[in-house]
Amino acid sequence: MEWGAPSVTHALLFSVFVIASCGLTYELVAGALASYLLGDSVTQFSTIIGTYLFAMGIGSWLSRYVVRGLIARFIQIELAVGILGGFSAPALFLIFAWAGAFRLALYLVVLIVGVLVGLEIPLVMRILKQQFAFKDLVSQVLTLDYLGALAVSLLFPILLAPHLGLSRTSLLFGLLNVLVAAWALWLFRDQLPGQRWLRGQCIAALLALCAGLVAADWLTTLAEDRLYADEILLTRTTPYQRIVVTRWKDDIRLFLNNNLQFSSRDEYRYHEALVHPGLSAVPGARRVLVLGGGDGLAVREILRYPTVERITLVDLDAEMTRLFAHHPLLTVLNDNALSSPKAHVVNADAFRWLEQNTETFDFIVVDFPDPTNYSLGKLYSNVFYRLVEKHLAVNGVAVVQTTSPLYARQSFWCIARTIASAGFNVTPYHAYVPAFGEWGFTLASRQPWPAPDHYPEGLRFVTPATVAAMLQFPPDMGPIDAEINRLNTQILVRYYEREWHQVVQQ
């Protein structure tokens, strides 16, 4: 093929179109990535566009210093843009997740890609200069340049970003840049000294980008895994909450609406402390009620008592009880407790269910999420405990998860007082659960609670001696004044908000 033939000219002009679309793609990818990771899209887009244009200006200016070997330089610049721009998205992702200094890397990448892209067009013009009158040249090149940019600006939001994702989009356009380089290499093969060296570079770049495309998903996961620290085993969004189960080494954790519910490493401490001091104090207990606690871990502990005939578990979320009844990773944790013929799962609102039922129980476990809002606060009100009282057999015992007496001391004593106001004898106690810290419980019974002198076999935490220690409150957790939590004040929600706010600030 002869230099100057119309087909060569068209080919070069077409590559202008490709180059232009690649250039804009990198700019948009950087902008979108920054707004995705940093938020505030208007700021991110405008600073990135600004930096990019500035860098292109530098590139154009630098182009005057390229005097010899125009075509070889052009090819090398294309390769550099392809590699750098192509890998910009996955690389920035990884940097954000693993290395920090993300902003610095971002603007550095934008700056360098911008400089290189700024060099491209002046060089192409100079290559084509011999072919066209200057006037036509400028008009043709710039028209295609604009058209390429326009194409991408339309494709990017409609097709590329939503369907390919940012990483694959940038890699794909990097590949296009490299293909332009390869094509130029082939077109000008006669005029180029040191071809082999350039060809080697081309092939290496092509291979790298292809590999990148294949591995794009893996790269993204690598970054996301790092962002969420632990491996996410399962997520479910139910009408009531977002359930997330994570694993880090052998530790499985359950989060409900981002609040840690248990860590498999130490949940036995929590659930043994929740169940045994109360249940062992009701010899021969037959009917047990669990309110909340859809994870079945309290049920697992209750099943240690052969006298128990029937356990009714009332939990709002059917998805939650279904998961903990059937998911193999989770049933290992509760020893298939929810599939026990003794366990009866009811998916209902606990308050409503208690209102509509008349059954009584020998032992009642009240294990609700902390009173973080006015809705949950109702489950800690005197009206609620009066209802619990109606469902408790004469010699029965109830136990209530009572938040942390250390971090939320007034909340803890507020709940204890509120339970007492419903006509109960109350016995507050606390246990250390590493995942939570110091945690509190309150026993409620009609007669004073008799401390059990023995517990079921095989417990890892609860013994008569540890329970005796649980009953002791050091001065920093000891009783303080608190009002009764009533529905018309919901004072507990205020206490709780204030106290945990202070914890977070420390």
Q: Which residues are catalytic?
A: 367
* Per CB under 8 A, 146 contacts another protein: yes
| CA gap 185, 437 in Å, rounded | 66
Residues 322-381 that bind another protein (CB under 8 A): 349-352, 355, 373-376, 378-379, 381
Among 130, 488, 505, 506, binds another protein (CB under 8 A): 488
Among 78, 145, 367, 499, binds another protein (CB under 8 A): 145
Q: Which residues of 310-323 are buried (b: 16+ CB within 10 A; e: fewer)?
A: ebbbbbbbbbbbbb
Count CA within 13 A, CB hemisphere, residue 251: 14
Tell me how far, at minimum, the Cβ of 113 lies from another protein, in Å.
13
DSSP 8-state code for residue 268:
H
Integer angstrom CA distances of residue 118 from 20, 21, 76, 172, 242: 10, 13, 14, 20, 48
From residue 238 to residue 277, the character string flagging contacts with another protein as x (rule: CB under 8 A) and all else as - is: -xx-------------------------------------
What count of other Cβ atoms lies within 10 Å of the Cβ of residue 147? Answer: 14
Stretch of 102-110, 146-154, 357-365, 445-453 lying at the interface with another protein (CB under 8 A): 146-154
Among 45, 102, 186, 432, binds another protein (CB under 8 A): 45
Q: Which two tokens stand for residue 459?
A: 């417990």
What count of other Cβ atoms lies within 10 Å of the Cβ of residue 394? Answer: 8
* Per CB under 8 A, 319 contacts another protein: no
Tell me how far, at minimum, the Cβ of 316 lies from another protein, in Å.
6
**CA-wise closest residue to 63 among 126, 113, 5:** 126
Q: Which residues, other chains included, contact 118 with Cβ-Cβ below 8 Å and sequence gap of 6+?
A: 55, 56, 57, 58, 59, 60, 61, 62, 63
Tell me how far, at minimum, the Cβ of 349 lies from another protein, in Å.
4
**CA-wise closest residue to 232 among 329, 108, 297:** 329
* Per CB under 8 A, 150 contacts another protein: yes
Q: Which two tokens stand for residue 135?
A: 């006037």
From residue 436 to residue 475, the character string flagging contacts with another protein as x (rule: CB under 8 A) and all else as - is: ----------------------------------------
Residues 60-119 that bind another protein (CB under 8 A): none
* Per CB under 8 A, 42 contacts another protein: yes
Tell me how far, at minimum, the Cβ of 235 lies from another protein, in Å.
20
| CA gap 92, 30 in Å, rounded | 9
**Which chain residues interact with another protein by CB under 8 A?**
24, 27-28, 31, 41-42, 45-46, 49, 52-53, 56-57, 121, 142, 145-146, 149-150, 153, 156-157, 239-240, 316, 349-352, 355, 373-376, 378-379, 381-383, 484, 486-490, 493
